[in-house]
A and B are shown apart, each in its own frame.
Chain A
Amino acid sequence: MKIAVQGIRKHFGALTVLDDVSLDVASGDLVALLGPSGSGKTTLLRIIAGLEFPEHGSVWFGDEDVAARPARERRVGFVFQHYALFRHMNVFENVAFGMRVKPRPERPAETEIQRRAFDLLRLVQLDGLAGRMPTQLSGGQRQRVALARALAVEPRVLLLDEPFGALDSRVRKELRRWLRRLHEELRLTTLFVTHDQEEALELADRVVVLNHGKIEQVGSTDELYEHPATPFVFDFLGDTNVLPAEIRGRELLLPGGEQPFPIDSIHPSGPVDVYVRPGDLRLAEPGHPGVDVRVTAVQRTGPIVRATADTLAGAAKLLVELPHLHHDVPHFRAGATVRLRLMQFSVFSQSDRAARPATLQAPILIGRERERDAGVS
């Protein structure tokens, strides 16, 4: 079932939680609502479920406007962050609940309820635990009971609020992969809320990045990484270096760089911010444009070598990440001066930083360069 929300506005008192949010989710898609806490992502999910009502805007399931319908008529499967299992019912009764509360003409017979509940418990690999009480289950098991319970009403859409938030990281990864497989199998339109960009990018077909009640960008993992629409998206998706720079005519001047970076298109001259990821920094070959830095510290964490450095001009702090076998690694020694090449970066006008989130502006430039000698030295 296709989901569409249009022009959603919601306030809690004086606080604007959602500010004119519109979103389309194609049928069968698995979509993540990603944002920091307070970005309005959970509220948006609850509005779609009918647990919360917006002051303005509409919610569509397919061709049906459900905005005025109460939650119980929407047929959504909702999985709560803290599972919200019925504590006085065992696993089986929890799963059967949605079928038991149906109005009598629609209610399946007891044998049918049994059959379907056990089918679902098998689907979530919990058929041996039907008689257990929720308190006797681990976090991951509770989460799967909650999912089976939500699926029992044959929902039109599946909504999950921070589904893995309360689990430890190993269980979380396992459950994430399992949910992905389940989604491939069921092809149910699914929206889930998360503040973990890794989770969103790994699990979802498309990611909706929210900040301060507004959608900053909607896109696939690649789109978000390759074409971050706003400084916020760039920053939220991973470690970020910000370098003050300047555009002069058709050249980008990096701090302390005598050699300007040629750019293709014409932009108004002026100060800009260059956003670059630690992993997109490499040693520049002699005579090539780059940023001169002094390395302040080098530390290896697992397969990654991290170096911190200060730019010689302006003393901006930079973080560099290299695979530990990369041939650049020996050049990064504390105290050494090196020139860094920016393999991929985004340039945002500085007003974006000051004025966000009110103005959402596309990057004025995206620079990209392939690593010529990628791989292992």
Chain B
Amino acid sequence: MSAATSSAPWTSAAPPRPVPRAATQDPRWARALLIGTALTFLGLFLVLPLVTVFIEALAKGISAYVEAIREPTALAAIRLTLLVAAISVPLNTLFGIAAAWAIAKFEFRGKSLLITAIDLPLAVSPVVSGLIFVLLFGAQGLLGPWLMAHDIKIIFAVPGILLATTFITFPFVARELIPVMQEQGTEEEEAAVSLGATGWQTFRRVTLPNVRLGLLYGVVLLNARAMGEFGAVSVVSGHIRGLTNTMPLHVEILYNEYQGAAAFAVASLLALLAIATLIAKTVLESRMGKRTRGGHG
């Protein structure tokens, strides 16, 4: 400090000059306005509703909250939701890895068709997705008579819910993995093979570890959607309490029956899931950022 002042004694005497602004830096008021707008929107459309969910859920006290969740049809809905997630998440994880691997690492006929097909569930309204299954498997549907003859129930039963959820959620893992895998190319796999690794060893020791964060992120999103899906499930479920109601459907029924506190109590569980998902996403993203910047990874 003393060295600095002695080498440049005039700096203290000179009147304060305006600090030159970097070309990419906006004036202070513009920054305040932008940040303010973003935060207001976030507060209005994200934080406020979330807080409201919890306030409403606890409006009649803790015991009412616990009661609403412990009620048998609520428990059945939670169980069904967990079951659906437990089946559709692993299925779509496998499908997503396989599809992403095929698309990113191999050239084959019909590749662009597959890429488009993966996006289909995101492009179609969930209600339409649900209707597709009704038209296929419903009593008046294409396969309905055959299913009826063999006493197999799909629509208005658990298998229908599973099918609809799996259909809706199948893009998530593949969507996350394809860009990551494409960016990484095939050189590391070729290196592994030339070093004597089998196809499985290459996949398990090279391909999979290289995309593990992207994969985890995809699974988190997939799980959130599998538990929260409403539209498609609503069409195929039949809303049979204690049997074919998932959590989102259960919330809707309670709400329509003016059981506000109970509806919000179950909804708060889904909201917690959303928060957990967001946190997981943030953690993973910061870790992924570190890796691409060349950290210890």
A72 adjacent to B188 (CB under 8 Å) = no
B191 adjacent to A72 (CB under 8 Å) = no
B193 adjacent to A136 (CB under 8 Å) = no
Q: What is the distance, in angstroms, from A342's C-beta to the closest C-beta of chain B? A: 47
B294 adjacent to A135 (CB under 8 Å) = yes
A72 adjacent to B198 (CB under 8 Å) = yes
In the assembled complex, A98 has its CB within 8 A of some CB on chain B: yes
B297 adjacent to A71 (CB under 8 Å) = no
User: Which residue of A70, A133, A149 is within 8 Å of B195 (Cβ)?
Assistant: A149
User: Which residue of B194, B209, B294, B296 is within 8 Å of A76 (Cβ)?
Assistant: B194
Chain B residue numbers with a CB within 8 Å of A82 are 187
- A74–B198 Cα gap in the complex (Å)? 13
Q: What is the distance, in angstroms, from A47's C-beta to the closest C-beta of chain B? A: 13
- The A48-68 residues at the B interface (CB cut-off 8 A) are 49-51
A82-B187, A87-B188 given; A101·B197 CB < 8 A: yes
Closest A-chain residue to B194, C-beta based? A78
- A247–B71 Cα gap in the complex (Å)? 107
In the assembled complex, A80 has its CB within 8 A of some CB on chain B: yes
B196 adjacent to A78 (CB under 8 Å) = no
Chain B residue numbers with a CB within 8 Å of A74 are 194
- A149–B187 Cα gap in the complex (Å)? 14
Closest A-chain residue to B195, C-beta based? A98
B191 adjacent to A101 (CB under 8 Å) = no
Q: What is the distance, in angstroms, from A113's C-beta to the closest C-beta of chain B? A: 13
Proximity bits, A118-137, B CB within 8 Å = 1, else 0:
00000000000000010110
In the assembled complex, B59 has its CB within 8 A of some CB on chain A: no
B194 adjacent to A71 (CB under 8 Å) = yes
Q: What is the distance, in angstroms, from B215's C-beta to the closest C-beta of chain A? A: 13
Chain B residue numbers with a CB within 8 Å of A98 are 195-196
- Number of B interface residues, CB 8 Å? 20
- A153–B297 Cα gap in the complex (Å)? 27
Chain B residue numbers with a CB within 8 Å of A70 are 193
- A82–B294 Cα gap in the complex (Å)? 16
Proximity bits, A67-92, B CB within 8 Å = 1, else 0:
00011111111101010111110000
- The A101-153 residues at the B interface (CB cut-off 8 A) are 101-102, 133, 135-136, 146, 149-150, 152-153
In the assembled complex, B269 has its CB within 8 A of some CB on chain A: no
Closest A-chain residue to B210, C-beta based? A88
Chain B residue numbers with a CB within 8 Å of A133 are 294, 296-297
Q: What is the distance, in angstroms, from B71's C-beta to the closest C-beta of chain A? A: 47
User: Which residue of A51, A88, A149, A150 is within 8 Å of B193 (Cβ)?
Assistant: A51
User: Which residue of B194, B294, B297 is within 8 Å of A72 (Cβ)?
Assistant: B194
- A82–B190 Cα gap in the complex (Å)? 12
A51 adjacent to B210 (CB under 8 Å) = no
- A71–B189 Cα gap in the complex (Å)? 11
Proximity bits, B191-205, A CB within 8 Å = 1, else 0:
111111110010001
Chain B residue numbers with a CB within 8 Å of A153 are 195-196
- A88–B196 Cα gap in the complex (Å)? 19
A101-B201, A101-B205, A135-B294 given; A75·B196 CB < 8 A: yes
User: Which residue of B190, B196, B209 is within 8 Å of A101 (Cβ)?
Assistant: B196
Chain B residue numbers with a CB within 8 Å of A146 are 191
B195 adjacent to A97 (CB under 8 Å) = yes
Proximity bits, A148-182, B CB within 8 Å = 1, else 0:
01101100000000000000000000000000000
A84-B187, A86-B191 given; A72·B206 CB < 8 A: no
- A49–B205 Cα gap in the complex (Å)? 21
Chain A residue numbers with a CB within 8 Å of B194 are 49-51, 71-72, 74, 76-78, 150
Closest A-chain residue to B198, C-beta based? A72
A84 adjacent to B190 (CB under 8 Å) = yes
- The B260-297 residues at the A interface (CB cut-off 8 A) are 294-297
B193 adjacent to A72 (CB under 8 Å) = yes
Chain B residue numbers with a CB within 8 Å of A102 are 196
A78 adjacent to B188 (CB under 8 Å) = no
Chain B residue numbers with a CB within 8 Å of A85 are 188, 191
- Which 6 pairs across A and B sit closest by C-beta, in order of nearness? A98-B195, A135-B294, A84-B187, A78-B194, A101-B197, A84-B191
Q: Please report B residues at the A interface, Cβ cutoff 8 Å.
A: 187-188, 190-198, 201, 205-206, 209-210, 294-297
Question: Can you name 9 A-B pairs with beta carbons within 8 Å?
Answer: A51-B190, A72-B193, A72-B197, A84-B190, A87-B297, A88-B209, A101-B205, A133-B296, A135-B297
Known: A86-B210, A97-B205. 20 other contacts (CB 8 A): A50-B194, A51-B190, A70-B193, A71-B190, A72-B195, A72-B196, A72-B198, A73-B196, A74-B194, A76-B194, A84-B188, A84-B191, A86-B191, A97-B197, A98-B196, A101-B192, A133-B294, A133-B296, A146-B191, A149-B191
